[in-house]
Amino acid sequence: MSKVVKGVGRAVGKVVKGVANAVKKVAKSKFGKILIGAALVYFGGAALMGAMGASGAAAAGGLSGLSGAAANVGAAWSSLGTAGSALAAGEFGTAASALGSGISGGVAQGASAAVGAAGAAAPTVASASPWATSSTGLNVLASEAAPAATKGLVGSIMNSPYTAPALISGGTQLAGGLIQGYGAQKQYDDQKKLDAAARNRYNQNIGVNLNIPKFG
Amino acid sequence: MPGLVSNAMGQQTQDPKVEDAMSEAPAQDTPAPAQMPTEQPAKGEKDQNDPGYVAALDFAMKALYENEAAKDVARAIKMSQDPVSAMAEAAYNVVEIADEKTDGAVPDELLVLFATDVLEEVAEIASAAGVEVKPSDVALAFKQMVLRYVGEQGYDTTQLQQAMDQVSPEEFNAMATEEGEA
């Protein structure tokens, strides 16, 4: 089988990491724009975690329904090891900031329209009230209220109230898996030590001089 | 459906025109077309100006549109009980064959981009043939391609598929609808 048939020989991590190029492309048609969004969602849970600190990630959109699911996708990619780590370490900072241009021409504009229709959040600041409503719909101090949401797919996912719990849930699952794995490993190591000690005792018992007294 | 696209693409072809076209893989050192932008990617980065990517995409487009593989693709999708799976399989086969015929010229980092380009074309072909192609169908077809690829690399896709299944396809329809209204 050649190295390219069926993808054999391809560096999976590199292939998966290359989704950053897919989300940066300029879509030629409505299907292309949908595919950019699909690539972001189906690959992008983990990627978006990596892009959390990316500057230029736009805020708010109308895709809160995808946010939690996308975060769970990220956790699932992480469980795949190489492929997931390639995503998490991927260059999504660039991709995320490019989403404003790459997707705003299609998906994000539609998303922002949905934001308006759904009544999602510009922060509302009463002149006398110290409280304001953040872009996620939560009450925060007026001084801490986020600026008005700008368009974008990344921002819509990251600023959804469902994202943080989903990320926490995904992270907890990962941590739980690690803890379970550590516990199982420790149990195995302890059992091995016990087995080794038993073998040592057995070996030491062989050939012991019983000093049986002689009669007669 | 199984094998139909492959037949159309020339793997087991009975059409000499298709077979001839499939055997003429673009040369690896084909110079980039003059109309391509001269902007160079950063060192080590690949973009859609990469010669290998361009060659593979050109090969795929020629096979689809010049060698009438598009008709077979459209017919297969129309006759299929599951247009989503049919689109995914057709696009996946095209990507595989184009990659093979160009001896893996597509850089690893551009394989996903190549796959989205091919799937986009397959969706356009299906739509032009009268098949109702919803945005959610395209997204689901892409999901199937991703899962198939990851599965073929030996990974257990159970958890990944479950997570992806949580994404409502209707969100993509809503996305496209709002875009149309915007």
Mean pLDDT of chain A: 60
- B138 at the A interface (CB within 8 A)? yes
What was the ipTM of the complex prediction?
0.77
Q: Which member of B99, B149, B163 has the closest CB to residue A72?
A: B163
Q: Residues near A182 by Cβ (< 8 Å), separated by ≥ 6?
A: none
| Per-residue model confidence as pLDDT tens digits over B36-73 | 444 455 556 677 889 999 999 999 999 999 888 899 99
User: What's the half-sphere exposure (Cβ side, CA atoms, 13 Å) at B40?
Assistant: 3
Integer Cα distance of A107 and A34 in angstroms? 7
Q: Does pLDDT of B160 surpass 80?
A: yes
* Residue-averaged pLDDT of chain B: 80
In 3D, which of A84, A86, A83, A60 has the Cα closest to residue A158? Answer: A60
State pLDDT tens for residues A143-167: 766 554 444 555 555 556 665 565 5
Residue B28 distance to chain A (closest CA, Å): 15
Q: Where does the pLDDT of residue A185 fall: very low under 50, low under 70, confident under 90, or very high at 90 and above?
A: confident
Provide the pLDDT confidence category of residue A54 given band limits of 50, 70 and 90: very low
- Note whether A66 and B174 are within 8 A (CB): no
Q: How much is the pTM?
A: 0.57
Confidence (pLDDT) at B84: 96
Contact B160 A66 (CB under 8 A): no
Report the DSSP pairing between strands A131-133 and A139-141. antiparallel
CA separation for the pair B172, B178 (Å, rounded)? 10
Q: Which residues of A touch B103 (CB under 8 A)?
A: 2, 4
For residue B182, what pLDDT is reported?
52
* pLDDT of A117 over the 90 cut: no
At B30, list the tokens. 């084909």
